[in-house]
Amino acid sequence: MILKNLKKVLFKKKSLIATFLWIFTIVTMFYHFQNYKLTIWNLGFNFYIIEISLDFFIAILFWLFVWASIYKITYFSSSNNKNTFIWWIWWFFWVLVNWCPSCSITLASYLWLTSILSVFPFYWIELKFLSFFMLLYVVYDILNNLEVCKIKKH
């Protein structure tokens, strides 16, 4: 069921083009912004491998979550609904704040909450593990129930 729904979400012309652009962007960002020599020197090669793997899998899972959510929203929404645009804006901010670890850390720094993040002893890799497992569960759930609406009408 999950593989069938994954084909529905990803194997369309728009989503394939966007997926290739996303992969190109992620690889480019990893190449240009990751200071691997400094990370390996300070924290070790094993930490670097764990961190880069988690970053890669979070990026892939986040992308699957976004496309599955877009598919589900368009599947259940009507095109002439006036509130759809406002709903999309709220969804975008919800995704940024809740599921993007770098966006959440940036938002925390704007709200002067970074001192709370300093209590993590492994340089915030704990948050990446948490994000990875939460995204894994959410992607599994949304792909398992892609064309199922769980909201009850009254």
Per-residue pLDDT reduced to its tens digit, 90-136: 666 666 656 555 555 666 666 676 677 677 777 778 888 888 898 89
pLDDT at 58: 85
Interhelix angle for 36-43 vs 45-76, to 10°?
120
**pLDDT computed for residue 46 by the predictor:** 92
- How big is the chain, counted in residues? 154
Say how many CA atoms lie within 13 Å of 5 toward its Cβ.
Answer: 21
Burial class (CB in 10 A: 0-12, 13-18, 19+), 106: middle
Q: Which residue has the higher pLDDT, 70 or 81?
A: 70
For residue range 11-64, what is the model confidence (pLDDT) as tens digits? 777 777 877 887 888 778 777 777 778 888 888 899 889 988 888 888 888 888
- 116 contacts: CB under 8 Å, gap ≥ 6: 108
Q: How confident is the model at residue 106, as a pLDDT?
A: 62
Question: CA 132, CA 122: separation in Å to the nearest integer?
Answer: 16
